[in-house]
Amino acid sequence: MATIRDVSRESGLSTGTISKALSTPEKVSPKNLARVEAAIKKLNYKPNMLSQKFRKKTSNTIVVLVPDIANLFFAKVISGIETVAQKEGFSVLLGDTKDSIEREKEFVSMVETKLADGIINLRPYKDGDALLPKEGIISVNASSCENTPGATVRIDNVQASQKVVEYLISLGHKRIGVISGLADNPHTVDRLKGYKKALSNFDIEYDADLIVEGDFNYWSGLSAAETFTRMADIPTAVFCMNDQMAIAAMKGFTDKGLKVPDDMSVTGFDDMNVSRYCTPTLTTVAQPAEKIGEKSAELLFELLSGIKPKVTEHILPYEFVIRESTSAPK
Amino acid sequence: MATIRDVSRESGLSTGTISKALSTPEKVSPKNLARVEAAIKKLNYKPNMLSQKFRKKTSNTIVVLVPDIANLFFAKVISGIETVAQKEGFSVLLGDTKDSIEREKEFVSMVETKLADGIINLRPYKDGDALLPKEGIISVNASSCENTPGATVRIDNVQASQKVVEYLISLGHKRIGVISGLADNPHTVDRLKGYKKALSNFDIEYDADLIVEGDFNYWSGLSAAETFTRMADIPTAVFCMNDQMAIAAMKGFTDKGLKVPDDMSVTGFDDMNVSRYCTPTLTTVAQPAEKIGEKSAELLFELLSGIKPKVTEHILPYEFVIRESTSAPK
DNA sequence: CTGTTAGCGCCTTCAT
DNA sequence: ATGAAGGCGCTAACAG
């Protein structure tokens, strides 16, 4: 493998000149530039970026910490991050933690060992078991919840949930079930808060029996739907905390002979691509996943460049999308 | 930032000893080991991995080239890759090319510039515009098609497609439509081949009018379904080349008043999670996406370690899953 | 504009 | 088992 020294020898110029020819060609005479190029081509020289990074003490790499990359929402956020990172000349290291705190630690330590310059964390912040934010580690929390410390990008989960539930109420629903995420998940907490606000705004009493705990995966939505159908006083609508559970719930209700939306209105959260193509199409909250990724990356690069950003908590707009899965109760 | 030299000074030991204490502690006396540890803790020393990699001339990083990470199938493959990579102590750099050949080039050059040791390519190989395989660059093509050169991991697309179509024929269908991917996509080519084989096995004449071109995205499935409903002689079943188009097609048919599967059988390809929760549930080919990722990574690491693997073309088993979207024609 | 020089932080012989 | 010394490939002063 040819090194810069080989190019120097071949071209009869010093390594310093070669280096400059590569980084700031306008500061090298055209004649010499041509000689450098010729030598590079002849030797098929490729600069050793590892050496460059070492020398410059910067990896130009960020790590994206993600609980599970096979979750479409996260994948979209990452896509947004990638777009911005490439524009800035950064690489993104994938930190699929598979929900293991051990793996998460390893990835965090990558910035301590210079392998990465900063971190974007897609795992919602939870008091107590959070590795980030951490002193000396530049990070952004993407898709966070209320009261997340440090730099964050998110939508207003409380408000969005409230809006969904108030819409159901406006249709005439009074008994509205919830398929939640795990009870201690911060998104669950925020979205439940919005649900309660909506009820209280319209003087509907909160009934804890109407909250069925899921885990954001399909299966739990199906199972929760069955739970509802076994209730003595079945609700007329169900607010699901993500689209996956909502789609599975629609199936669960359909299987038990309930028509959606005639017998049961169902709403989701996220607006995955499939939600406008399933049957019936899903009323849901559209999260700007790619935008969240882009904004997070932009914020991280601001932080990385040393400027203190004016705003460190970005609350992005969401959209409430009404489709076929909701209607007035019979 | 403390360096190894600081630890050396603090502990009164040479840098060589510190280095050894970190890499092969069993070769350092317990007494000195303790002193090293004390010094490290006192100074909060973290080895500079950038320097380490530079010195060792290996990045311990692989790049995963993916046309679009917000595609669930790819995301799952990546998840499998990550699992194996972490076990091997490698990082994975995300190469979301967003279908741009320029970006792809950049990522490929990362191994030439030592930023990565090898590449796993999720883009199907197409004669003519393929950057990989390439001399001097260790790579594996994951989820490839027939006749892909170099190291590959895939399922037998032709056989799987044939099986699906023969199943439809066995149900009594004779006029079977296809919603394909883009015509020049290698997966389209392989799967169409299987479709034709099935027809010819059962002496059904191939009718090019029954092939409607899609692009593997939802929208094209919906649009193709509408095309079918406008045909004079509507088919009784449609073989879709992925689940996304199949789910959208089911919606398209339903919207036009056709019942699935009573009036129209629909099959997919991939078996995304949603396919067992949509309504009706989808008959499809289950690709072992995570396994494909794991196998690809294992193969790459074999290649990287310098051993010539006995097998460089891995054909993984798929599963044909029969669900509710198919039945005998009326 | 170009050449010289001195390291970046670490690992690895090679002695001891 | 430990220490001394050299150098990986590159960039960044600094001189000229």
Give residue-wise pLDDT tens across range A58-117.
999 999 999 999 999 999 999 999 999 999 999 999 999 998 999 999 999 999 999 999
Q: How confident is the model at residue A136 (pLDDT cuts 50, 70, 90)?
A: very high
What pLDDT, on the 0 to 100 scale, is given for residue A269?
A: 98
Beta strand pairing status for B211-213 and B176-180?
Answer: parallel
**How many residues appear in chain B?**
330
Tens digits of residue pLDDT in B53-69: 999 999 999 999 999 99
Tens digits of residue pLDDT in A149-203: 999 999 999 999 999 999 999 999 999 999 999 999 999 999 999 999 999 999 9
Domain assignment present for residue A326? The answer is no
B300 contacts B140 by C-beta, under 8 angstroms: yes
Does B271 lie in the same domain as B241?
A: yes
Domain assignment present for residue B324? The answer is no
B window 13-32: Cβ near strand D (< 7 A): 13-17, 20, 27-29, 31-32
Query: Which residues of chain A have a CB within 8 Å of the CB of B67?
Result: none
For chain B, the domain total comes to: 3
Chain B residue with CA closest to A55: the answer is B51
Average pLDDT (A277-304) is 97
Does B274 lie in the same domain as B191?
A: yes
Minimum-distance CB partner of B50 among A70, A106, A114: A114
Average pLDDT (B144-169) is 97
The domain that holds A31 is classified in CATH as 1.10.260.40
Instruction: Indicate if CB(A19) is under 7 A from strand D.
Output: yes
Domain assignment present for residue B238? The answer is yes
Average pLDDT (B208-225) is 98
* B227 sits in which H/E element: helix B218-229
**Test mutation, B1, B61, B91, B290, chain A, max A CBs within 10 A:** B91
**Above pLDDT 70, what percent of chain A?**
100
Does A281 lie in the same domain as A167?
A: yes
Q: How confident is the model at residue B129 (pLDDT cuts 50, 70, 90)?
A: confident
The domain that holds A246 is classified in CATH as 3.40.50.2300
Range of the domain at B271: 157-286
Instruction: Indicate if CB(A5) is under 7 A from strand D.
Output: yes
State which of B34, B56, B78 marks the end of a domain. B56
Q: How confident is the model at residue B320 (pLDDT cuts 50, 70, 90)?
A: very high
Average pLDDT (B207-227) is 98
Domain assignment present for residue B323? The answer is no
Q: Is the pLDDT of residue B99 over 90?
A: no
Does B117 lie in the same domain as B72?
A: yes
The nearest CA of chain B is from the CA of A246 a distance in Å of 10
Per-residue H/E/C for chain A: CCCHHHHHHHHCCCHHHHHHHHHCHHHCCHHHHHHHHHHHHHHCCCCCHHHHHHHHCCCCEEEEEECCCCCHHHHHHHHHHHHHHHHCCCEEEEEECCCCHHHHHHHHHHHHCCCCCEEEECCCCCCCCCCCCECCECEEEECCCCCCCCEEEEECHHHHHHHHHHHHHHHCCCCEEEEECCCCCHHHHHHHHHHHHHHHHCCCCCCHHHEEECCCCHHHHHHHHHHHHCCCCCCCEEEECCHHHHHHHHHHHHHCCCCCCCCCEEECCECCHHHHCCCCCCEEEECCHHHHHHHHHHHHHHHHCCCCCCCCEEEECCEEECCCCCCCCC
**Above pLDDT 90, what percent of chain A?**
97
Does B211 lie in the same domain as B281?
A: yes
Averaged confidence pLDDT in chain A: 96
Domain assignment present for residue A330? The answer is no
* Nearest residue, CA→C1' of D2: B17
Q: How confident is the model at residue A252 (pLDDT cuts 50, 70, 90)?
A: very high
Instruction: Indicate if CB(A16) is under 7 A from strand D.
Output: yes
Mark yes or no for CB contact A113/B49 under 8 Å.
yes
Instruction: Indicate if CB(A51) is under 7 A from strand D.
Output: yes
Average pLDDT (A13-26) is 96
Closest C1' nucleotide to B30's CA: D1
Does A162 lie in the same domain as A126?
A: no
What's the pTM value of the predicted model, to 2 decimals? 0.96
Mark yes or no for CB contact A96/B113 under 8 Å.
no
Q: Is the pLDDT of residue B128 over 90?
A: no
Q: Is the pLDDT of residue A307 over 90?
A: no
**Above pLDDT 90, what percent of chain B?**
97
Does B272 lie in the same domain as B170?
A: yes
Does A117 lie in the same domain as A103?
A: yes
Domain assignment present for residue A323? The answer is no
Domain assignment present for residue B177? The answer is yes
**Test mutation, A45, A96, A119, A271, chain B, max B CBs within 10 A:** A96
Domain assignment present for residue A329? The answer is no
